[in-house]
Chains A and B, each alone.
Chain A
Amino acid sequence: EDQVTQSPEALRLQEGESSSLNCSYTVSGLRGLFWYRQDPGKGPEFLFTLYSAGEEKEKERLKATLTKKESFLHITAPKPEDSATYLCAVHQRNSGYSTLTFGKGTMLLVSP
Chain B
Amino acid sequence: DGGITQSPKYLFRKEGQNVTLSCEQNLNHDAMYWYRQDPGQGLRLIYYSQIVNDFQKGDIAEGYSVSREKKESFPLTVTSAQKNPTAFYLCASSTVSNQPQHFGDGTRLSIL
Contacts and interface: CB of A to CB of B under 8 A. Distances in A.
Contacts, number: 60
A43 B42 contact: no
A87 B42 contact: yes
A25 interface: no
B100 A43 contact: no
A98 B45 CA distance: 12
A51 B50 CA distance: 22
Nearest to A91: B98
Interface string A72-111: 0000000000000001010100000111111111000000
Contacts of B35: 102
Interface size class of B (residues with CB under 8 A): 20 to 34
B111 interface: no
A20 B96 CA distance: 32
B56 A97 contact: yes
Given A4-B42, A102-B43, A34 B100 contact: yes
Interface of B: 4, 6, 31, 33, 35, 40-45, 48, 50, 56, 58, 90, 92, 94, 96-106, 108
Contact of B102 (A46, A89, A98): A46
Contacts of A87: 42-43
B23 to A, nearest CB: 11
A8 interface: no
Contacts of B98: 31-32, 51, 91, 98
Interface centre among B31, B42, B58, B104 (most CB of A within 10 A): B42
11 contacts: A41-B105, A43-B106, A44-B43, A44-B103, A46-B100, A97-B31, A97-B56, A98-B94, A98-B99, A102-B43, A102-B44
B42 A103 contact: yes
A42 interface: yes
